[in-house]
Amino acid sequence: MSGVHAEHFNLIASKVSTGFKGIFPGLDVLLDIKPASLTSELTGLVKKDAGLKVKDGNYETSVSQQGTGARRALFWSMLQVFNELNRDKETREVTKKPIQVALKKAMDKKPPDQAIIDECNLKLEAIELGNPIPKSIEDPALPGYLLLIDEPENALHPMAARAAQRHLYKLAENPDWQIMLTTHSPYFINALEDHTTIIRLERPATHGGDLISPKTYRSDLITFQGDEKRRLQALQHIDPSLAEIFFGSYPILVEGDTEHAAFLATIIERQHELADKVTIVRARGKGILLSLVSVLKHFQMDFGIVHDSDAPYNSKGGNNSIWSLNSSIRNAIASARDSGITVRHKVSIPDFERFLGGEEESKDKPLMAYLAILDNAYLGIVVQNMLNDLVYGENHHPFGSGEGETIAQYEILLREKVISWAENNGLSENIKFKGLA
């Protein structure tokens, strides 16, 4: 092998190692690449006389001695490398054709055109030596590859699954590749990645019912405002369970960790049937609820939502910016309902902590809420009733029937409820509820 080719193959080999180590950082792969034809078998991607070893610390093992997860990860990396090798070969063959035609014409002339012959031979030699091929707007569109994967999460621990997701999404950024996978793992769902399509298939509720049409989500078709997408991406990194909303359970959107802990204490500790039917999705902030409503609307999923009303004023008596989100959430829910989605909406006055009888700024709120519900049967019933209303309730509005209610009427009613709560709890003169005189 020439020095140019050796350098090229060494570069490709290092890319295999980089991709593999991206999923299993503690392992390395040693390759002596001799490409074979495309195959679905890992060992078939290199010829029999090629070297393929996995290095684990000071030890080298064969691929067959590695676990299923490591072998699959290596297979994906090898596929990517094979594509680079094959694509380069195809591009060079296509580039050579017009040069070969020109060479034949020059040789067929009487007398032969030696200048053109020499020029064509130099170009062909450069291509054979692996020299770079100039980019051109007339470059041919060569056929790409479609990688089909069934349950890539198999045999991968959580950290490796997250790394594998990043690797596959990175591979899909290559215009030569499309990735299609089936999965039961939220680690492999990234609804916020551009050019992502998610299709959910579900069984009919009854065996004799009609088949349910697939629900489809396309990331390119959903519009976010301002930095909503960036905030959702951050939330997904913090809480991978966010992707569980795309699976078969009924999602309930909650504002924070306290609601999440309270609902879990109610259904899991008491082994309630809803434990297998609902997914509690933490927004970790009131503003993020708007983005999550948009996602579920686009996916055409029924859902429940509960959030704090908060106080109308801030600690200085001015308008509370968080209070204004109540109307925004109400509008987003109305828009989702107009699209045919059933949304059950609840509001905690003034917040979920005090709805449970706790303090506004108490420490360890989620843990305290969890333990309080375990120890207090009455609180458990209160939270269970709210949860049942969010899943099965016939009244989908937080106050009254809500039929024909305008946003202005909703704002007035919500303010009245909050002020009434403040009066009943001795806080009517509190600046957060009274505001500046």
Q: Residues 86-120: pLDDT tens digits?
A: 767 777 788 888 888 888 898 988 888 888 888 88
Contact 9, 34 (CB under 8 A): no
Of 152, 142, 221, 150, residue with least CA distance to 177: 142
What is the rounded distance in angstroms from the CA atom of residue 63 to the CA atom of residue 72?
Answer: 10
At a CB cut-off of 8 Å and minimum separation 6, what does 119 contact? none
- The pLDDT value recorded for residue 205 is 57
Q: Is 24 helix (H, G, I), strand (E, B) or coil?
A: coil
> Can you read off the two tokens belonging to residue 196?
């992502």
With a threshold of 0.75, does the pTM exceed it?
A: no
How many Cβ atoms are within 10 Å of 315's Cβ, its own excluded? 10
Of 201, 363, 229, 202, residue with least CA distance to 287: 229
| Residues of the chain under the 50 pLDDT cut | 1-5, 42, 45, 49, 137, 140
What is the rounded distance in angstroms from the CA atom of residue 243 to the CA atom of residue 202?
Answer: 16
- The pLDDT value recorded for residue 172 is 82
Phi then psi for 327, rounded to 5 degrees?
Answer: -70, -40
Question: What are the boundaries of each domain within the chain?
Answer: 3-145, 226-434
- The pLDDT value recorded for residue 49 is 46
